[in-house]
Amino acid sequence: MKRRKILIVEDEESLLRLESILLTSKGFEVIGAMDGPSALKRVVSDRPDLVLLDVMLPEMNGFEVCRQIRANPIVSQTPVVMLTAKKNGQDFEQGKECGANAYITKPFKSAKVIEIIEQILSESCSSGPGE
């Protein structure tokens, strides 16, 4: 069975490393990006099965990255999970408006992140043809 690929977009190196370890330990292939423009390039070039996206990023925030993923017909169906310290209702609303599949706030429980990722990936598999 092919390992599922996840693009983690996180500008804090320690968190990027922590999230990578968590996901690789659960059998995922992980690629990383530390800013919005890099994330947009990687999502097209590497075609991840899911994007785990921080909101507060240098150059371009995660909401804009999500909007641009949704606007690109090549990758528009790629599931996006926002993982952020931004907790107010307006942020949740903005996450929904830009097309995020889920919105998780930091600090997060590892088990909850894995559960949400696996649920979204199983839904995206059963909802239609892949690549």
User: Do the domain assignments include residue 25?
Assistant: yes
Q: How many domains does the chain have?
A: 1
* Domain coverage including residue 107: 5-120
In a domain, 16, yes or no: yes
Residue 129 lies in a domain: no
Based on C-alpha coordinates, what's the Rg of the chain?
13
- The verdict on residue 71 lying in a domain is yes
Q: What is the pLDDT of residue 126?
A: 62
Work out the mean pLDDT of the chain and round it to a whole number.
Answer: 90
pLDDT greater than 90 at residue 9: yes
Res 131: pLDDT: 39
Residue 131 covered by a domain: no
125 inside domain: no
| Angle of CA points 24, 26, 31, to nearest 5° | 30
The CATH number given to whatever domain includes residue 84 is 3.40.50.2300
Give the separation between CA 101 and CA 81, rounded to whole angstroms: 6
pLDDT in tens, 77-86: 999 999 888 7
